[in-house]
A and B are shown apart, each in its own frame.
Chain A
Amino acid sequence: MADTAAKPSAPPAIRLSGISKSFGSVRANRDIDLTVRKASIHGIVGENGAGKSTLMSILYGFYQADSGTIEVGGDKVSIPHSQAAIDLGIGMVHQHFMLVHNFTVLENIMLGAEGAALLSGGIARARAELKQIEKDYQLEVDPDALIEDLPVGLQQRVEILKALYRGADILILDEPTGVLTPAEADHLFRILQRLREEGKTVILITHKLREIMAVTDMVSVMRQGQIVDTVPTAQTSVEAIAEKMVGRRVLLRVDKKPSKPGPVKLSVRDLTVVDSRNVPMVKNVGLDIRAGEIVGIAGVAGNGQSHLIETIAGIRQPTLGSVELNGEKLDYKTLDPASLRDEGLAHVPEDRHHMGLVLPFEENENAILGYHNNPAFGNGPFLSISAIRDHARERIEQYDIRPPDCRLKTANFSGGNQQKIVLAREMERDPDVLLIGQPTRGVDVGAIEFIHRRIVEMRDAGKAILLVSVELDEIRALSDRILVMFDGKIVGERGAEATEGELGLLMAGIAQSDSEVHAVPDPAMVDIAPGQAPAETQIPGERP
């Protein structure tokens, strides 16, 4: 935590006064006042749907505020589009990188700022300028590397360089660490601190309170479209911020009794899975999950966890190996996800937007996704609309899904409530084995608590649960046993008491794994998967 660098007399980098923004009847931002000092790192935290993204979109010119004023560097401005924001020196690094994968770093940075109709002059100029920026901020990236060959950590660096190249003095980062290892995240924080030393202002939007504590000077907490508090980070605590976010005290630790493991419910042996390009993504994985235990798989996204869980669920075909459910070997040649559900295997997919839900559907329609052939929801080939809606209303009630409207389009629910729709559907079918991927990705603190409690309840009811998450805190809080996956292999097993550092090193593939010892390179430059086809494993947009 750095101390406050700017003098109070200097005009603030940004001053927002009375900003309000509504979408229909939803008031996304209400009368927001926010002052961001020059050369500071200002964190904005809040639950999903609290209005953080809307506020930043107003600042970046994606939306127009209904009322209120924006001052940048002491001057009142209007920002009708993102080009105006760029002209004012505001840069944005999006959660999902906006990079052209088959362009080089330099080409991506020039994109939209080519300078002339012909590229040749611009390239040389851009290269020189980029070199200077890289030197000033210690942000080294090979300008001629293709984006698709770069690990996510470096791709993010390119995004930051892109903003700086456009002359950004104020940098907005939206959930920047979602795809990074702890080591990469730490490196990012060093970059941000360096930027601050050079006089840049950084606005960090995140839901990870640890990051707020680690790197920000000031923190603003948003709740229900309003800023409920802005305090110097040094004068607050994780618990205090969390409480302000949800308006009450939350349980960050999960209360659970020791597990009472029963018989093995799910048994995976020598499982190997290749992706569409024939690159092995899961290599010889074996694991057992017993009734009444939660086995967590820790790992940086893209190290085979997704392929593992999707293969067990029947979405992908295994190349080699076998899976036994309740002691019976599964024949994936004949089973599909629907018949596996009948066998007692439920699956909460990692990506609720692309897999777990059909966003344009009404909520009640999504509440039967995968179960639409169930006799309970109709007669013969027909669906019973009343049965489906009654079922949805019941789940809405049980899981406190808000707004409690089963006819609402699913896309209009917040992330946490969307996740509850999926969880309600999969958990209430009383499965024997539950596969859960990223249960709380993009979910607000209040919903996290609820979801964690439900998962532990499922365990205590004797279900075997396989949990995949990139959130180490979550893995550690929920799991009875922790397996670490790196580069398609399980590189270690630890108990629930394993430390974050220990797991983090295993996840990065640089700690002593159970079987082999790697040399330890500079952690900052190890971008997740040394040696092993990084382009394959780390394209963030990659979908199966």
Chain B
Amino acid sequence: MTNTLPPWVNYVLLPAINLLVAFIVSGLVVVAVGENPFKAAWLMIDGAFGSGRGIGFTLFYATNFIFTGLSVAVAIHCGLFNIGSEGQALIGGLGVALACLWLGAYVPWWLVLPVAIVMGAGFGAAWGFLPGYLQAVRGSHVVITTIMFNFIAASLMNWLLVDWLRPAGQMGPETAVFADGGWLPKLTGLLNLFGADIRNTPLNLSFFVALICCLLVWVLIWRTRFGYSIRTMGLSPSAAKYAGIRPARTVIIAMMISGGLAGLMSLNPVMGDLHRLTLDIVQGAGFVGIAVALMGRNHPVGIVLAAILFGMLYQGGAELAFDMPTITRDMIVVIQGLVILFAGALEHMFRPQLTRFFLAMHRRGVSPEAEGAA
């Protein structure tokens, strides 16, 4: 008796309708401040995709969101709501930065990168381990602990950057710029092959690391024994116990994988763009990851699409705020909020109507010989 919408409705039409409604409501907001919503929409889309530079920035942001979206999704598959990707990414940045500072002057980037990946993921995983352990063994709710760990991470990084990692004579709380080995190659040349000029954008090799992570997460969740344990745990803890799946171990490891993916996000800004560690490398991507995972239905393909959408909102939004002075940066946040609201929180709003509509369609089309099937 459960509803059985065809997959294309579930995964394409429904999100599209939600998105459309979000944009209509956003348009009303734009009208309210006295601007032309169509012009605003065009500025946004053109800003995000209209030029090589726009595409570069859009995909740069999307890279962050893919990592954090995967991070949130892995935890959700285990029934955990990890809202600590923000802090895990920040601590992961520390690992990446240490690898780059340590090795960057001696070896080329392609030797630094594996170390940076291991350290970034490892530091993030360690930051995910603690809430995971507290949840699994002490019963402290992971939502509470992860959000507190975000604050702890921020304070810790502040202390480290101000008192330990800041080079002598520098004012800002940030590390020295890495030597050449700590610089990931930009993707300039590659996209230029397709005729898009993305010079002067921060898009870098991390984008491919993110795509590889999508594949690995898919394999982990749907093709490994441990992924099976994670999903069982997430869907039915009592069935997991019956099956002999150790709940504490599963929860802790899932949180470490989640934290590790968040930690990897820092490759993108730290090693790929800024080439030093600062306090604001994450810029809310951990929280956007929640919306990305929600909208992408916790599936890597959906997450990539949703991440690109949010990359577009970031980049296009920035262009819009620049070209239409009446639309401030905060207004862009409102629009992003509306997308999260309709595509994420209210994602089921139109489901009953759609289900009814498709059932009616289906009934009309039911063939007489199919009637025997009960």
Contact = CB atoms under 8 A, between A and B. Distances in A.
A-B complex is real: yes
Interface of A: 22-28, 54, 66, 224-225, 313-315, 336-341, 347, 349, 351, 354-361, 365, 368-370, 372-373, 377-378, 381-383, 385, 409, 411-412, 543-544
B152 interface: no
A27 B371 contact: yes
B320 to A, nearest CB: 40
Given A372-B228, A372-B229, A338 B245 contact: yes
A383 B228 contact: yes
Contacts of B245: 338
A378 B235 CA distance: 22
B244 A337 contact: yes
B353 interface: no
Given A27-B371, A224-B374, A383-B223, A355 B242 contact: yes
A28 to B, nearest CB: 7
Contact of A356 (B1, B228, B239, B371): B239
Tell me the interface secondary structure of chain B in the complex: helix
A355 B244 contact: no
Contacts of B373: 25-27
Contacts of B218: none
B242 A382 contact: no
A293 B310 CA distance: 64
Nearest to A339: B244
Contacts of B239: 354-358, 369
Contacts of A338: 243-245
Q: Which 7 A-B pairs give the minimum distances between C-beta atoms?
A: A338-B244, A337-B244, A370-B243, A355-B242, A24-B4, A354-B238, A372-B228
B348 interface: no
A372 B225 contact: yes
B236 A381 contact: no
A359 B236 contact: yes
Most buried by B among A315, A372, A378: A372
Given A27-B374, A224-B374, A383-B228, A372 B235 contact: no
Given A372-B243, A409-B2, A412-B2, A26 B374 contact: yes
A315 B242 contact: yes
Contacts of B243: 337-338, 369-370, 372
Q: Which of B223, B229, B238 has the most CB of A within 10 A?
A: B238
A339 B243 CA distance: 10
B244 to A, nearest CB: 2
B23 interface: no
Given A336-B244, A337-B242, A382 B224 contact: yes
Nearest to A337: B244
Nearest to A349: B242
Interface in B218-235: 219, 223-229, 231-232, 235
B224 A347 contact: no
Interface of B: 1-2, 4, 219, 223-229, 231-232, 235-236, 238-239, 241-246, 359, 362-363, 366, 370-371, 373-374
Contacts of B238: 351, 354-355, 543-544
A338 B246 CA distance: 9
Contacts of A340: 244
* Most chain A CB inside 10 Å of its own CB: which residue of B225, B242, B370: B242
Contact of A358 (B1, B223, B236, B246): B236
Contacts of A315: 241-242
B370 A25 contact: yes
A23 B1 contact: yes
18 contacts: A24-B4, A25-B370, A28-B1, A54-B1, A315-B242, A357-B239, A358-B236, A360-B235, A361-B231, A369-B232, A369-B243, A372-B225, A372-B228, A381-B226, A382-B223, A382-B225, A383-B228, A412-B2
Nearest to B220: A381
Nearest to B5: A24
A336 B243 CA distance: 9
Contact of A22 (B219, B244, B363): B363
Contacts of B232: 358, 361, 369, 372
A355 B242 CA distance: 6
B225 A381 contact: yes
B285 to A, nearest CB: 29
B244 A354 contact: no
B53 to A, nearest CB: 42
Given A354-B236, A383-B225, A409-B2, 10 more contacts: A25-B373, A313-B242, A337-B243, A358-B239, A359-B236, A365-B228, A368-B228, A381-B224, A382-B219, A382-B225
A341 B362 contact: no
B236 A24 contact: no
A338 B228 CA distance: 14
Contacts of A385: 223
A544 to B, nearest CB: 8
A373 B4 CA distance: 32
Contacts of B242: 313, 315, 337, 347, 349, 355-356, 369-370
A314 B246 CA distance: 12
B368 to A, nearest CB: 12
Nearest to B362: A24
B374 A370 contact: no
Contacts of A347: 242
A114 to B, nearest CB: 28
Nearest to A310: B242
Nearest to B367: A25
Nearest to A51: B374
A225 B228 CA distance: 36
B225 A225 contact: no
Which of the listed residues B219, B223, B228, B373 has the most CB atoms from chain A within 10 Å of its own CB? Answer: B228
Give the residue among B238, B241, B243, B245 with the most A Cβ atoms within 10 A: B243
Contacts of A361: 231-232, 235
Nearest to A63: B1
Nearest to A368: B228
B363 A66 contact: yes
A341 B359 CA distance: 44
Contacts of B4: 23-24, 412
